[in-house]
Amino acid sequence: MERWWRWRSGSEKWVPWLILLLHIVSILIFTRGFLLTRTELPFYSHCSDASQSPCFSSSSSSNSSRCWTKPAIDRLVIIVLDALRFDFVAPSTFFEESKPWMDKLKVIQRLASERGSSARIFKAIADPPTTSLQRLKGLTTGGLPTFIDVGNSFGAPAIVEDNFIHQLVQNGKRVVMMGDDTWTQLFPDHFKKSFPYPSFNVKDLHTVDNGCIDHLLPTLYEEDWDVLIAHFLGVDHAGHIFGVDSTPMIEKLEQYNAILEKVIEMLESQSGPGGIHENTLLLVMGDHGQTLNGDHGGGSPEEVETSMFAMSFKKPILSIPYEFHTPTCEQDLDGKKFCISSIQQLDFAVTMTALLGVPFPYGSIGRVNADLYGLVADTLNLEDARLENCQNQSKLEQWMQNYVNVLCINSWQVKRYVDVYSASSVIGFSHEDLLQIADIYAQAEENWSHTKKSLLDKNECCDSLLPALKRQIDLYVNFLTSVAELARSKWTEFNLNMMGIGFGIMLVSLLIHFLAIKRVNKQYGASFTSRGDSGISFGLICACFVVIIRASSFLSNSYILEEGKVANFLLATTGFVKLRYSIMKKKMLLEAVVFVLLITFCRFSIEVGLSKQAATSQFLNESTSLMTSIASGLPSWTLIAKVVPLLVLILLAYLLYKTISSRSCKGIWKYVIMGTILSYLLIAVHWASESSIRSLALVSNVIGRNCIPQIIYTIGFGQLLLLAFGWQFNKDKFFDGKENLVIKTIGMLSAWSSVVILLSGQQGPLVALASIIGGYCIVRLDNIEQDAKDNICDVSAVDPLSVTQWNLLAVCLFFCTGHWCAFDGLRYGAAFIGFDEFILIRQAILLTIDTFGFSHILPIFGLPFLVACQYMLSQKRFILVRLSQAYMMYGLITAATVTVTMLCVTIHRRHLMVWGLFAPKFVFDVVGLILADVLICLASLFCFGQVEDDVPKS
């Protein structure tokens, strides 16, 4: 018997570890397939780099004045129209039927039709994720921003990678920006002048646009800039609110048409010889498209296809034939032939830098687009006087030679990036891919050296060069295309096989979890239905129902958005079920009612949290007005808001004090709890000083501000060490199991609580009190059944409904504390309580404790209460069996929801909100699950510490 027990308890002990392992493996595999990651390289291109490239032969290296390419334009005007669909710009003849929103930007169509050689419409193809921030990043870096760009930008969106704007500034170009303030977030100190306007209020169609209009024309007359960026948001906002087929949208487009007419007229008037816009390129472009509902973010053609209009104000000498691409041509409205070429957004940064004559961004993987490059007249004026000898060489040939030169530098730069990237990032490209790319590159280079030789050699027979140049261009384009394809497959395409395997492993782990629970039940002769009473099985059905409903609610983006409310709704439902029980048994009515009231309280604080979310993530909600009006109310309110947390904190300390004085708690546990009381007092002092010190000297403020939290962290850490020490060496055999367990749990909880409360800020004590009351109610209500049974069957299963409630309460607490499943929901401020400087690991730990403190750490360490407070008479081993059961159920509930989240992101991987909503939810859930698993392992280790020593003797 003893041996059997030993074996069994041993096998039980490794179940959590096995589950943890399975979860980690599954999530790692799934994440490899789903969350595409890319490492940002901290390198920058410099003018001098180009000398390392094979493209400048020693003979032509005399040109010290030029950088990588010869500047072809002097000034650049970029007008970004956010969410500009392709069919806003292209003539309606390109589409099956004419829609009301088409042909509104008439001026663009007219110019593109009249001056095909210097003005052209492009179909610009973006890469998902098609959200403005990622797109601007992609446009300026020439790379493929993924969901997680591993880099130095922790918390701040500023682009630290090498990019177009950085290169401009480095090379002495002056950049002026107006419009969407995302630009100033991305480039905080790059602009010479900027006129940012807030972009987050989707309902405001005009502020940003009017701001742009006010500044655009006056700035165009000025001479103190080289690149001008004007970002209009009206179309994006009109789409978000009214959809594409709406009058506000059409009005916006007509407004833009008028503005563009003025801008072009102005530029035209100044484009004569000697004018300030003699050599200016105008770009009108979208950053991404939008669906008919105005959504964007995903990879559907409507969202990915945007357009770009480019116009050079200098007449080009020749029109580049459509040899390098296949444009789509249709009759336009006047019956003329109208051609639209296409360009990848990836190519934007490198083409623009080539035109402006600055180094290409280091991480760019685009290629210089022939059409856009050829649109500009000056790309033809080669400096090589030698070529003038060859009178019969066509201008086309000159241009091509120049273009090949640019492509050569371009290919060299891309190759350099690919090599460095694979060498320095954790997950680089695969070896075969690299070899293949290197092969193509070597081939192109070899060919180029031959061609160059023949170029130098030849003097008269120029005709033979044309095919050679064309072949060379093809080779380079081939190289650049294959790199872009490889990068796309690496950074924008999901690996369904891996996702499938990960999901499968997750399902297996669920099965193991379930079987483990079953086995424990069987071995102890207890099962959910053994009571014979319908009550317990009803609890099981109820629990399953709630868990399944909650899990399946994740299949819809709306429910994920309102997850807090959904969890609260379900918690309230279980609360009512319990209330019904307590009426049935005529017992503990007070607890049931208090629990329902507590849920109501939770509900309001969740709504406050959701209103914050709405304010930051553009999902504006009407129902938030009430909360904000309360929050910004009377001055006495702020005083109450300051005093109440302190009072509650003191109350908590008092509760702990009562615990140590009433219970016969000894030794280590007593010191741990006393440490917590000390911490609470320190927190109170800290907050009091923080609120009042503003009038006092700042010096003492800085010291006090950091000193007290650091002391608290130290105390907390010391308490944990003490607990670990106690677990290792202190075998208290004087207490019966239950008493011991309760004391241990209180010790553990109190050790964590001080840090969690400190990080949560003023709301911390209130939430802590709420969770204590909630936990107490759940524990008490769980006793209804048992008391009624008069402890007849000692060994019975834990009520799954109570565990479900515990879990739901934990989820609610996550939202109550003002968190939500998005990265802007992280409270970065909490990471800097007590510290001024940033150290990644330390701050990450603090942030994790803040984020998951109330929702994972405290509930999981507090779960033993649910078991320990249940039976009046109980043997220790039964308690421990029940405890492991409870932990496994808790783990199963968490894992089940995460599994459905994984399924959901798999289904919705092409959904337009996948990067905005599903992916953050997935990341939060997965991190939460791993954390929960680890905590469960630690907690069971902590609680079962003495079983093996005690039980064989008993």
Partner 1 sequence: MSTNAKVSAAAEAEAEAEVVCVQLMLGLVLPLPLTLFIAHNLYSINLLSHPSLTLSLISVIQCPIVLLLYGRLRKNRKHCSYLKAVGRGLLGLPIGALVNALGAIALGAPVGTQYFSQTLNWSLMMSLFTIVPAATVFGSSWKDWQRIFAHTKPMGSVDLIICLPAHGAVIGAWFGAWPMPLDWERPWQEWPICVSYGAMVGYLVAMVASFGCVAVRARLQHVKRE
Taking CB under 8 A as the criterion, the residue among 289, 575, 853, 891 binding partner 1 is 575
Q: What are the φ and ψ backbone dihedral angles of 231, each rounded to 5 degrees?
A: -110, 110
Pick the piece of the chain touching partner 1 (CB under 8 A) from 45-53, 76-84, 578-586, 935-943: 578-586
Q: Please, what is the Cα angle at 769 between 939 and 872, to 5 degrees? A: 55
- Residue owning tokens 């742009």: 212
Q: Would you say 364 or 568 has its CB closer to partner 1?
A: 568
Q: What are the φ and ψ backbone dihedral angles of 861, each rounded to 5 degrees?
A: -70, -20
Residue 320 is classified by DSSP as P
Q: Would you say 87 or 563 has its CB closer to partner 1?
A: 563
CB of 624 to partner 1, least distance (A): 10
Contacts 24+ apart (CB under 8 A), 17-23: 17/937, 18/512, 19/509, 19/512, 19/513, 19/891, 19/895, 19/933, 20/930, 20/933, 20/934, 20/936, 20/937, 22/505, 22/506, 22/508, 22/509, 22/512, 23/506, 23/509, 23/895, 23/929, 23/930, 23/933
Taking CB under 8 A as the rule, which mask of x and - marks residues 622-661 in contact with partner 1?
Answer: -x--x-----------------------------------
CB of 620 to partner 1, least distance (A): 13
CB of 6 to partner 1, least distance (A): 45
CB of 580 to partner 1, least distance (A): 5
Cβ neighbours of residue 456 closer than 8 Å, sequence gap 6 or more: 57, 59
Q: CA nearest 930: which of 10, 17, 13, 11?
A: 17
Pick the piece of the chain touching partner 1 (CB under 8 A) from 48-56, 220-228, 352-360, 569-577: 569-577
CB of 607 to partner 1, least distance (A): 8
- CA 370 – CA 549 distance, rounded (Å): 55
CB of 444 to partner 1, least distance (A): 50
Pick the piece of the chain touching partner 1 (CB under 8 A) from 197-205, 456-464, 580-588, 739-747: 580-588
Taking CB under 8 A as the criterion, the residue among 66, 336, 580, 910 binding partner 1 is 580
Neighbours of 12 (CB within 10 A): 21
Q: Would you say 843 or 897 has its CB closer to partner 1?
A: 897
DSSP string, 691-758: HHGGGS-HHHHHHHHHHHHHHHHHHHHHHHHHHHHHHHH----SS-HHHHHHHHHHHHHHHHHHHHHH
Residue 761 is classified by DSSP as T
CB of 731 to partner 1, least distance (A): 46
CB of 622 to partner 1, least distance (A): 9
CA torsion sign, 730 to 733 to 735 to 739? Answer: positive
Give the containing element (helix H, strand E) for 149: strand 148-150
Q: Would you say 405 or 611 has its CB closer to partner 1?
A: 611
Q: Would you say 175 or 570 has its CB closer to partner 1?
A: 570
Question: How is residue 525 written in tokens?
Answer: 């002769």
CB of 569 to partner 1, least distance (A): 5
> How many residues bind to partner 1 according to rule CB under 8 A?
27
CB of 561 to partner 1, least distance (A): 7
Residues in 169-198 at the binding interface with partner 1, rule: CB under 8 A: none
Residues in 779-808 at the binding interface with partner 1, rule: CB under 8 A: none
Q: CA nearest 222: which of 270, 150, 186?
A: 270
Q: Would you say 84 or 547 has its CB closer to partner 1?
A: 547
- CA 191 – CA 227 distance, rounded (Å): 10
Give the containing element (helix H, strand E) for 605: helix 589-616
Give the containing element (helix H, strand E) for 231: strand 227-232
Pick the piece of the chain touching partner 1 (CB under 8 A) from 119-127, 323-331, 579-587, 780-788: 579-587
CB of 440 to partner 1, least distance (A): 47
- CA 214 – CA 211 distance, rounded (Å): 5
Q: Would you say 489 or 558 has its CB closer to partner 1?
A: 558
Q: What are the φ and ψ backbone dihedral angles of 97, each rounded to 5 degrees?
A: -135, 155
Q: Would you say 227 or 610 has its CB closer to partner 1?
A: 610
The order of strands in the sheet holding 175-180 is: 193-197, 175-180, 227-232, 75-81, 280-285, 305-312, 119-125, 337-344, 328-331
Q: Would you say 392 or 629 has its CB closer to partner 1?
A: 629
Which residues on adjacent β-strands are paired with residue 123?
307, 342
Q: Would you say 558 or 700 has its CB closer to partner 1?
A: 558
Q: Would you say 510 or 598 has its CB closer to partner 1?
A: 598
Residues in 486-545 at the binding interface with partner 1, rule: CB under 8 A: none
Q: Would you say 146 or 557 has its CB closer to partner 1?
A: 557
573 forms part of the interface with partner 1 (CB under 8 A): yes
Q: Would you say 159 or 808 has its CB closer to partner 1?
A: 808
Taking CB under 8 A as the criterion, the residue among 572, 660, 759, 893 binding partner 1 is 572
Q: Would you say 49 or 562 has its CB closer to partner 1?
A: 562
CB of 587 to partner 1, least distance (A): 11
Q: Would you say 559 or 828 has its CB closer to partner 1?
A: 559
CB of 606 to partner 1, least distance (A): 9
Buried b (16+ CB within 10 A) or exposed e, 192-216: eebbbbebeebebbeebbebbbebb
Neighbours of 551 (CB within 10 A): 18
Residue 260 is classified by DSSP as H
Cβ neighbours of residue 133 closer than 8 Å, sequence gap 6 or more: 157, 182, 186
Q: Would you say 135 or 921 has its CB closer to partner 1?
A: 921
Residues in 584-623 at the binding interface with partner 1, rule: CB under 8 A: 584, 586, 596-597, 599-600, 603-604, 623
Taking CB under 8 A as the criterion, the residue among 150, 456, 511, 583 binding partner 1 is 583
**63 touches 422 (CB < 8 A):** no
Q: Would you say 505 or 599 has its CB closer to partner 1?
A: 599
Q: Would you say 464 or 616 has its CB closer to partner 1?
A: 616
Pick the piece of the chain touching partner 1 (CB under 8 A) from 485-493, 572-580, 638-646, 770-778: 572-580
CB of 27 to partner 1, least distance (A): 28
CB of 244 to partner 1, least distance (A): 16
- CA 249 – CA 231 distance, rounded (Å): 17
Pick the piece of the chain touching partner 1 (CB under 8 A) from 309-317, 582-590, 689-697, 771-779: 582-590
Single-letter residue type at 667: G
CB of 73 to partner 1, least distance (A): 45
Cβ neighbours of residue 801 closer than 8 Å, sequence gap 6 or more: 539, 540, 542, 543, 546, 574, 577, 578
CB of 926 to partner 1, least distance (A): 23
Taking CB under 8 A as the rule, which mask of x and - marks residues 549-568 in contact with partner 1?
Answer: -------xxxx-xx--xx-x
Rounded alpha-carbon distances, angstroms, from residue 914 to 34, 232, 472: 11, 25, 41
CB of 809 to partner 1, least distance (A): 14
- CA 143 – CA 163 distance, rounded (Å): 9
Pick the piece of the chain touching partner 1 (CB under 8 A) from 8-16, 313-321, 576-584, 631-639: 576-584
* SS3 assignment, position 78: strand
Cβ neighbours of residue 900 closer than 8 Å, sequence gap 6 or more: 551, 552, 554, 555
- Give me the residues that bind partner 1 (CB under 8 A), please: 556-559, 561-562, 565-566, 568-569, 572-573, 575-576, 580-581, 583-584, 586, 596-597, 599-600, 603-604, 623, 626
